[in-house]
Structure 1
Amino acid sequence: MPHRKGCNIIFTLIEQTSIVLILVAVILLMASVWSWTIIIQKTISFRLVRHQVRKFDKIFLSDISLDELYKMVKERSKGPSSLVFATGWAEWEKSKSENGGSTAGVSSRIERSVDIIIMKEQEKLSYGLAFLATVGSTAPFVGLLGTVWGIKNAFDEIAISQNTNLAIVAPGIAEALVATALGLFAAIPALIFYNKLSVDLDRIVRTLEIFADELSTEFSRELDS
């Protein structure tokens, strides 16, 4: 049967392939699959975060009061901007209650607490990007290792058979070049999307920092009133 014949050919090729080349191929394929998992997950996640940030900024810049905004955030808090605002508001209320209404040092404490939250959000959003950077920088060399090993095996076959016929050398070299191709297949998307997602993350963090400055300004107005 054709199906059984195809399976036999595949098993024969695997048996004839060096264990090192098989290991290299498996590592690169797993790295590629996991990279694409991170790429898809981060692309969707960053898109959702940008939407949440834009939506919250629009509400924040409207005529809504800070009290009303906090009530709304408390009922349905979504996105890092909501978390930044809730953190700033919590520090605001805590400082007023602990200091008996004194406003000394309130602004600096709010800024520090908000900065900590932004750093935590940045760390959470950046999870997985280091793996993309690692795959992008190391996968070509892993593929090159498989290529070198495959070419070495090809030359070993020549030495054993004492035959330089292309039919003897070609299969081993072809297997070796497949390792290089797999390395590039894993590295190129990982590197491209690492750069893109890093830029997207920087924009999100910068937006949160701008929002934190705007929030500090609003709290300063409350202190002066």
Structure 2
Amino acid sequence: MLSPLIALQATTVEALPEEAATTVEQLAVAAATSPAAESSLNLIDLVSKASWPVQAIMALLVIASLLSWVIIFRKFMVMRRAKREADQFEERFWSGAELTKLFAGSTERNRAVGGIEAIFESGFREFNRIRQRKGVDSRSQLEGAQRAMRATTSREIDGLEHNLEMLANIGSTSPYIGLVGTVFGIMVTMHTLHAASHQIGIKDVAPGISEALLATAMGLFVAIPAVWAYNRYATAVERMAVRYDAFAEEFSSILQRQSHLDET
């Protein structure tokens, strides 16, 4: 029983031959540098190696994205300022201040008015102008003030809606522009593979398909923020339009009472 154990202890472990060790190291390096190990996607390299039609479409999508974001931030500032000015003027208007003092504050030099204050200024100006005429009844005074307020309301709403159509166009056309890039990428890939003389594998098809799909993804990334911003700001403009119309109706009632007092 002891003799086999003694024999095993006496046996020495020989090292691997030098050629076998070199082969193991080469296999480890090959596994580390294999395509499976390099699984990260380099978008910059993918764009730089894309065909020129796909690159042109990608550049167009980048320009559209920058333009849409500029409009989004500017429209955010415009809508926030319009809401803030409306809140401030309505607070002064319903606090019981005299209409003449409010009108004098709205017509100060070097002061641009907008929104509800501009509607008030135009309506009260026209009301005073018609009231100074002789023989004009209260109904004509009120109708003139209402026409002026409607015209000012239309101008204010048009200013709030400025560039919203550009957001709508970018949001609706960007996916189709991306699809055009996809079509060009696949066409160029198929043409290149058709002209190849060697056996075609997945590594030959992957770059072209990747650049084609990247164009589609870019189109969606451009369209989604533009569509979201358009829906948000279009709703905000509608709410401001309702607010402007409500103020014009309430101010018309005040002017109607004022005109009746002038007749008595």
The two structures have a TM-score, normalised by structure 1, of 0.90
Quick one: distance in 2 between partners of 1:180 and 1:21?
Answer: 10
Shift of 1:102: 3.9
Change (3 A) 1:66 1:196: same
Residues 164 and 230 in structure 2, CA contact (< 8 A), matched pair in contact too: yes
State the AA in 2 paired with 1:111: Q
Quick one: distance in 1 between partners of 2:44 and 2:228?
Answer: 35
Aligned pairs (5 A) from 1:174-213: 174-213=210-249
Shift of 1:45: 1.1
Which of the pair has the greater relative contact order for Cα pairs under 8 Å at 6+ separation?
1
Equivalence for 2:92: 59
Aligned pairs (5 A) from 1:5-154: 16-75=49-108, 76=111, 78-100=113-135, 102-154=137-189
State the AA in 2 paired with 1:204: M
Residues 138 and 260 in structure 2, CA contact (< 8 A), matched pair in contact too: no
Residues 103 and 124 in structure 2, CA contact (< 8 A), matched pair in contact too: yes
Residues 46 and 207 in structure 2, CA contact (< 8 A), matched pair in contact too: no
Equivalence for 1:164: 200
State the AA in 2 paired with 1:85: F
Q: Secondary structure at the match of 1:105?
A: helix
Most deviating of 43-52 and 104-113: 104-113
State the AA in 1 paired with 2:250: E
Change (3 A) 1:40 1:10: closer
Equivalence for 1:173: 209
More helix by share: 1
Change (3 A) 1:211 1:43: same
RMSD (CA atoms): 2.0
Quick one: distance in 1 between partners of 2:82 and 2:146?
Answer: 22
Change (3 A) 1:15 1:61: closer
Shift of 1:107: 1.1
User: Over residues 82-131 of structure 1, what are the superposed CA-to-partner deviations in whole Å (9 max), with x where a residue is unaligned?
Assistant: 11011001101111123456434111121111111111111111111000
**Matched length:** 217
Unpaired stretches in structure 2, ≥5 consecutive residues: 1-41
Most deviating of 91-100 and 184-193: 91-100
Unpaired stretches in structure 1, ≥5 consecutive residues: 1-8
Quick one: distance in 1 between partners of 2:120 and 2:247?
Answer: 9
Shift of 1:14: 6.2
Choose from 219, 222, 225 the match for 2:255.
Answer: 219
Q: Secondary structure at the match of 2:187?
A: helix
The two structures have a TM-score, normalised by structure 2, of 0.77
